Structure 1
């Protein structure tokens, strides 16, 4: 892990207190799947604990049964395990419900919390704005005993949802809006908590439960993103006023923003609801499950998280940064093969119908230990449509009428004739091959572009899913209507061809199709129905 400002703080703390035990935590709310922003937080908390011989807890912030679900806990555990990380302890905020309640009573007894009967809309109205001070609730000055009595009635389920809540009594004129008598407890009756069932009908808010959970678990450094900077004031206020010792301290780093992407669970849910993506594991999303399905490796994701560093400065990370890490991870361990994803037929007319030439080529151009493979050249082959243009251009890198190209590992061919159907679409291109051009030493080869190909008779049909940016604009964090910026071509499905023996070349479901990109064999593929997901395109492929 790269050294960062949080580590400098920890080193200073260790220097000033040699007996300090470093303890961090990753506290996801189980109301959605993890995304790459969570991976960054996991990496930071886990790496710091490991580096300083400390511990890191995985804590589920399960204080809102209205939004949370057991299936999300299962998926979060699965994602973390897949990333290759093991937490020292798995905790649940719900385990501390009794303690939260007792600490709330302490605040009430100190005159620092009260039961408010304003509804949600009026609480927001009374709170004011950045330019306008808030107003005191008409229920703010209730007596301590009355507040205790009402809070206990809330616990017993004597009030309806939304009829009252428990609020901290701080200051309605504070410059920090979150300090204007924030809600500490609310009533939730209609939803069953997956752990406590219907035992509780009042639930603590995140801000109240989070800091107390950190204290209970003896977290030394509570690390979160900058969006919780204002919450830090409330974090410290609660811990100060419930009279606890050895308070944890909160430190903030910049959240992850990646070009043309969103990392908001709420917005991802919106995309799913509007059927723009299928589910949380759609490969176009930067969720951990989406990246896994697309073919990203745990190593590439963790390397990326380390590479971007930990700072307080907000920045927009280029998607190419993430792509470069998966390329590096796959480059030295994945076989190469040829495939045509958007085919056009070539007939080499000066070869006989029964012509068959076996050519031995390396599985990897730089790694001999990966061995070799056989490819076969026949009279009829396929090339990519993008490698052909009808009109001749002298400096063109494509095959065109009366122009030549070199077939990779094979001969130079020259286009002589085009056959079209009644709709004026090309059916086949008739080419001449030059026998003496197989050798790499031939001078003519240097003047020609090299294109990939595949023999018609030695290929099988395959689908290729090509993923592009999900959004048309780079920065989305301040856009309210993200649907307006969705890229309608974010998923392109091509039907082309791969070699018949492709399954023998695939290593752990990965293959690089030359000049195209790295691909991941879809788990639903069979020998009769082959589908490849494009992990990442090669630099020159459009």
Structure 2
């Protein structure tokens, strides 16, 4: 497998061009801001908005964020940061059955971890769609009163049958032309709990013959008796997402409402709704504009909420923060960094075209940021014993290793050396292959940061497995001394002292799926699970690692980048997870 990689230039971002154009033309330069979300009358009391632009990140709190959400977070918060704006943190909590405070907490934690804040211009911009329910109800009544909405009593099957197809127009409901007063009275009865769930809905009255099916009298309110995490049992009717979302944007004075491509066909309704509410005096100009970009399609992962739930609930993984999952909670626990995600978002850019991003690009971004930030430590993952026969019994001496070769200001640490050491099993061969320069009988190598040693023999157990390697050291060859260069050797191996070593559990994580496109064709995506996505080993680590705190990152020399597990580590007994190898081992 090749370790070569193709350099990735920063990706293009067409939305930046739109933002820069709007700033140049002063599209939003003179709009007032009342210091809080509000209708036209409220905003008219405000002063000039100090934010040049307003974006928003609007997740529904019904699950954990995944890597795809990181792209949207970096895009929306990054635009606000770069153009003297603010990004609102808004929970689109209009569906009471699926939303929980647990998800609210996990989402805010993830956004903060990625390095972003919704505080700006002297206030916090954390909002809940459910706080706008009163206005949404008022907006719905306005549409009814202007004959732009009606209460429909068709069954769900009848509505589906009458909706039409891409080539055939829909059919008007028998209730479409009921008197305004009758629809208004029924809607108020819906609000007051006088009708059963599903008995009727409120629909916008647009055009049942529209070539855009989303404009064929879309539903905007439904009856749903469910306790809401924020409003409790105040409401038994709830707005549909396509109705609520544009109103939320307008009340918050969002300038650029950035969505993924599946919302492109909803944009005509977005504009229709806001223009009607503006013309009725409910919302202020200038109205938000919606722009769509391609969602993240990443090889070797599944981002479908249904499949992620299946993986968790059927215990193919160990919970939502399993380091193999593409959730941000899992990625963070694995050792992926916020800096790596921000670099990844910059690298892949933003476009309108759907495309697949190679998982290797994400891993390379993690390597690049971890190479810069992670201090170096020594770990022997597959240990066998090396005995220095001519080293004095009971003696210990200090060797010195740099904490980070790129940052000498971080200094050096002591690595104790003694008569017995742990080395990697692969660093000794009884019969060396061509080009093998590490330990084998009569060959010399350098103990990294220590002495040159010469292999003098080895021991095997009854099964023929090598258990101990013997050597002698050359006393005048210690690293950092004048004699260090007196003998030239081709091999350089790492080690830890047996009496000082810290035995620890190390989890070697790899990609959860073995195929680039899990479930492609007619395959069951579960058949593409990688049986080697986790391997738990017991390694020998240098003693300094015993003091690692949860989420401390290190490069284990020669092995990759590791993090002290934030969940299972105990004081002075950290468990380490492999975030990423030093090189790409998947590229064919």
TM over 0.5: yes
Taking the aligned partners of 2:187 and 2:519, their CA distance within structure 1 comes to: 39
Name 2:289's counterpart in structure 1.
249
**Residue in 2 that maps onto 1:538:** 582
Shift of 1:414: 5.4
Q: Is the 8 A contact 2:549 2:574 kept in 1?
A: no
Once the two structures are superposed, what CA deviation does each residue of 1:377-415 show, in whole Å capped at 9, x if it has no partner?
Answer: 333322223434454313235545666544323345555
Aligned to 2:79: 48
1:349 CA displacement: 4.3
Q: Using the alignment, how far apart are the partners of 1:268 and 1:423 within structure 2?
A: 45
Aligned partners of 2:393, 2:182: CA distance in 1, in Å? Answer: 97
Q: Which consecutive unaligned segments of at least 5 residues does structure 1 have?
A: none
- What is the DSSP-based 3-state SS (H/G/I as helix, E as strand, rest coil) of the residue aligned with 1:229? helix
Tell whether 2:569 aligns with 1:510.
no
Distance verdict in 2 for CA 1:8–1:452, change over 3 Å:
same
2:87 is aligned with 1:78: no
Confirm or deny that 1:345 pairs with 2:389.
no
CA–CA distance in structure 1, aligned partners of residues 212 and 162 of structure 2 = 14
Are residues 1:490 and 2:533 paired? yes
Structure 2: unaligned runs, 5 residues or longer: 1-9, 32-51
Question: Which whole-Å CA distance do the structure 2 matches of 1:126 and 1:342 have between them?
Answer: 67
2:249 to 193, 200, 214: 214
State whether residues 316 and 475 of structure 1, in contact with CA within 8 Å, keep that contact through their aligned partners in structure 2. Answer: no
Distance 1:25 1:394, change over 3 A: closer
Range with greater deviation from structure 2 (64-73 or 479-488) = 479-488
**Could you tell me which residue of structure 1 aligns to residue 190 of structure 2?**
154
Please list the CA deviations of residues 305-339 of structure 1 after superposition, one character each: whole Å capped at 9, or x if unmatched.
23322222223233333333333434344432211
Against the structure 1 CA distance between its residues 506 and 441, is the aligned structure 2 distance closer, same or farther, given a 3 Å change threshold? farther
Which is worse superposed, 233-242 or 421-430?
A: 421-430
* Deviation of 1:477 (Å): 9.3
1:51-99 per-position Cα deviation (integer Å, ceiling 9, x unaligned): 3333322221110001111222222222223333221412211121122
The Cα shift of 1:355 comes to 5.3
State yes or no: 1:117 paired with 2:153: yes
CA contact (8 A) 1:335 1:507 kept: no
Please give the alpha-carbon distance, in whole angstroms, between the structure 1 residues aligned to 2:415 and 2:195: 76
Choose 503-512 or 30-39, whichever is displaced more: 503-512
How far did 1:499 drift?
Answer: 1.8
**Deviations 1:508-537, CA, capped at 9 Å, x for gaps:** 723221111222222343356331122332
| 1:194 matched residue in structure 2 | 229
Distance in 1 (alpha carbons) for counterparts of 2:187 and 2:510 = 53
Of the candidates 274, 299, 316, which is equivalent to residue 339 of structure 2? 299
Deviates more, 1:385-394 or 1:476-485: 476-485
**CA–CA distance in structure 1, aligned partners of residues 318 and 488 of structure 2:** 50
Q: Is the 8 A contact 1:473 1:485 kept in 2?
A: yes
* Change beyond 3 A, Cα 1:477–1:81: farther
In the alignment, the residues of structure 2 paired with residue 435 and residue 328 of structure 1 have an alpha-carbon distance, to the nearest angstrom, of 38
Change (3 A) 1:125 1:461: farther
Q: Distance in 2 between matches of 1:403 and 1:525?
A: 40
Partners of 1:246 and 1:99 lie apart in 2 by: 19
Normalising by the residue count of structure 2, what TM-score does the alignment of the two structures yield? 0.82
**Count of residue pairs the alignment pairs up:** 539
Greater Cα shift, 299-308 or 209-218: 299-308
**Secondary structure of 1:196 counterpart:** coil
Greater CA deviation, 220-229 or 61-70? 220-229
Q: Deviations over 1:240-262 (max 9, x none)?
A: 33335432110112212222123
Q: Does 1:100 align with 2:144?
A: no
How does the TM-score come out when normalised to structure 1?
Answer: 0.89
Q: 2:519–2:528: 8 Å Cα contact kept in structure 1?
A: no
Query: Residue 59 of structure 1 aligns with which residue?
Result: 90
After superposition, the CA RMSD in angstroms is: 3.1
Quote the residue 2:7 is aligned against: none
Separation in 2, partners of 1:363, 1:432: 28
How far the C-alpha of 1:468 sits from its partner, in A, is 1.0
SS at 2:232 equivalent: coil
> Is 1:13 equivalent to 2:22 in the alignment?
yes
Aligned to 2:298, the other structure's residue is in SS state coil
Where 1:501 maps in the other structure, the secondary structure is helix
Separation in structure 1 between the aligned mates of residue 459 and residue 87 of structure 2, nearest angstrom? 67
* Matched-pair contact (CA < 8 Å) for 2:403–2:410: yes
Alpha-carbon contact 1:505-1:511 (below 8 Å) kept: no
- CA distance 1:506–1:80, change in 2 (3 Å): closer
The 1:247/1:422 distance shift into structure 2, 3 A limit, reads same
Indicate conservation of the 8 Å contact 1:516/1:541, yes or no: no
Deviation of 1:353 (Å): 4.5
Aligned to 1:441: 485
Measure the CA separation in 2 of the matches of 1:522 and 1:147: 58
Give the corresponding residue for 1:500: 543
Question: Of the candidates 349, 369, 380, which is equivalent to residue 309 of structure 1?
Answer: 349
Compute the displacement of 1:459 (Å). 0.5
Which deviates more, 70-79 or 361-370?
Answer: 361-370
